[in-house]
Structure 1
């Protein structure tokens, strides 16, 4: 659109009347963004936000509950796991016997979950974990799959 002197004066008048940018655009036959851009270039006064904001004085007094400081460090992996480090959580082994799942011990067992969490059948694989991995070699082969070269798929 060519912003003629007449169009600019009309924009200034509608702006001063307090119309929204969308309404000014409709009345002038231009887009809202054209109105916003031209108003910016003309340094017209800023408009109040259409989003209603309450000031602190206007807000009703609310009962606030004190927030406890969060513990430093990573969040726990599961709400079922005990919070104390070095503790054990009972877990059913493959044989159906409940065993203590070692945490931070020298012998590491596979952490592969088996079954549906929350059911009595849920357990972890009890095989010895591969060095540097949280899973046994069988489950590590499933968990860590090399990405295929996409050039092989191109034809």
Structure 2
């Protein structure tokens, strides 16, 4: 890969605009993301800010085996939790959620 002065100038311009190394490689053509990263490093272009870091989740309450572990909500959304009601003996869920999790085989479907 030949880094002509024009290509270096374009790399610097696109880097300054905040394009990703992959996007810059696509725009330059004939080069790879890794080549762009290497050249940016050798040119001492400013490092990119770290991606936004998520705040660590608050510790989940300690679930005992006597608590219902039926998930409520989506794990990636705020408010996700587990039922937490007393679990049926030998089961991971409360009586209500056991009826949803465990269903008897339908006799008519087996025939």
Q: Report the structure, 1 or 2, having the larger strand content.
A: 1
Structure with more contact order per residue of length (Cα contacts < 8 Å, sep ≥ 6): 2
Question: Which TM-score band (shorter chain)?
Answer: 0.3 to 0.5
TM-score by length of 2: 0.48
Q: Report the structure, 1 or 2, having the larger helix content.
A: 2
